Amino acid sequence: MREKVWDLGPDPPQPPKPPETPRGKDGDPDYELAKLHYVQALEGYKLDLFAYGRQRDEYQAWQREKGGPVELERWGVEVEEAIARDPKRYRRELPKGMKPGRAHFENLERQRTRADELAEDRRRDPQFGGAMA
C-alpha cells in the first residue's frame, strides 16, 4: 500500500574541528612525538574537510532544489525503513510551525496537471466510453 512521508531534508553539516597544535620545546621527545601525532591528525582533518565540503554542497543543492520539506509517496515498507533509518529527516506528519517547501507545491501542481491530462485522454478514447474522434 502506498503511504505518504515528509522528507524534511538533510541537516546542515557541521565543519570538523582542527587538531590541537602541540606545545613544547624542540628537542623534547614528548613534543616531537606530539608533532608527529599532529601531522597525522592534520591528514585526517583534511579528509574530514573534503567530506564536509561534499556534504555542504549536497545540503545546499537540496535546499536550492526543494526549498524545504517535501511530501513523498512511497510503498509502506519504504516509509517504515526511511523513518527507522533517519527519524529526524523523515516524518509521517509535518512538524508544527514548519511549512512545505517550494518543490512540494510544484509536485502538487504536476499531479493536478497529470490527472487533468489523463482525464482528457480517457474522454477522447472510444474504448473507455469517450466520444469518437
pLDDT surpassing 70 at residue 23: yes
pLDDT-derived band of residue 129, with 50, 70 and 90 as boundaries? low
Q: Which pLDDT tens digit goes with each residue over 36-46?
A: 999 999 999 99
Region 63-88: mean pLDDT is 94
Q: b/e map of 6-35 (b: 16 or more CB within 10 Å)?
A: bbbbeeebeeeeeeeebeeeeeeeeeeebe
Task: Evaluate whether 107 touches 71 at the Cβ level (below 8 Å).
Answer: yes
* Helix-then-strand count for the chain, H and E: 3, 3
Grid cell 485522454 — which residue?
A: 121
Ordered by start, the domain boundaries in the chain are 2-100
pLDDT for the residue numbered 130: 64
